Amino acid sequence: MVWSKEQVRLMGTVIDMMIEHEEPIILLHNCVEKLRSYEKRFSANSQTSELMAVNLQAGQKNIKVHSDLFELIKLGKEHSLPIESYLNIAIGPLTQAWHIGFEDAQVPSQTEIASLLKTIDPKRIHLNELDKSVFLEKGSSIDLGALAKGYIADLMVADLKRKQVTSGIINLGGNVLVFGNPPNENRDEWYIEVQVPEQAQSKEPFLLKVRDKSVVTSGVYERVLTKDGQIYHHIINPNTGYPVETDVLSLTILSDKSVEGEIWTTRLFGKKAEEMIKEINHTKGIEGIVITKTMSYLSAGIKKYL
């Protein structure tokens, strides 16, 4: 068995993959092709993606989609509906208006934001289980950017396991998913470093020791827009239409599935640090680290991974 790695830039980020297999180079090449196909399916920033076909037909007709896309929209809607959730996959009109992280990023007017807030109710997404079709009400659009990378990582690992790959790591722009044993080590755990944001007073990173786990981190420092001396980050509050106001710099979720990490980093980002940890402690299957400027908060079960 041989270890091999591959790096590619897709989905607006750098993706690193490393696997152990008898023919790892061939499999990694196949992984890159799969990633390209997933990008064409899930992207909210490509006019030719399958998701964009749904958005462009909002208010006009149902669009049949691939089962993978349908299931992620279904999952995203489920977690967008709770009143206390900061995840909203119908937030597309707002993220496109701000477009933070892109060259045409701007601060929308209050009038525009007020108008767009009327279009982002996730109940405006209608799903037909029978033919796997999606209908959006007029003016709505779906943005799966908060979930797609984790969902894709899970699909990739499931596919690799079907091809008898027993160990590997997929890092989609900081969203890390590991399985099996790490390479060239006399241990069965991977060491994943959780970086501390520059704004935090404590600079010491956390080192998680994990196996068959996902580590997803979301932070206000990732993508920003500076306008007239004001800094706007990319995490939009679906209730106000503006970037969330929070004392939290970053939130890391440890889970079995990467999409679970994506769901909960987004659902929680907007709450106070203490509220985040309380909800993590009451949610089965996840652990977390919350970092503010002055403190770090750990969930009850995270310590066994440190």
Among 142, 115, 145, which Cα is nearest to 126's? Answer: 142
**Distance between CA atoms of 22 and 4, rounded to whole angstroms?**
10
Is 111 labelled a binding residue?
no
> What are the φ/ψ torsions at residue 269 (nearest 5 degrees)?
-70, 110
- Burial group, residue 95, by CB count within 10 angstroms (0-12, 13-18, 19+): buried
**Distance between CA atoms of 262 and 148, rounded to whole angstroms?**
8
99-117 burial, b at 16+ Cβ within 10 Å, e below that, comes to bbbeeebebbeeeebeebb
DSSP label at residue 65: -
- Burial group, residue 1, by CB count within 10 angstroms (0-12, 13-18, 19+): exposed
Our separate counts of H helices and E strands in the chain read 8, 15
Is 97 labelled a binding residue?
no
Which residues neighbour 103 within 8 Å (Cβ) at sequence distance 6 or greater? none
Token code pair at residue 44:
């909210």
Question: CA angle at residue 146 from 294 to 8, to 5 degrees?
Answer: 100
**Distance between CA atoms of 221 and 101, rounded to whole angstroms?**
11
Annotated binding site for Mg(2+): 146, 266
Annotated binding site: 146, 266
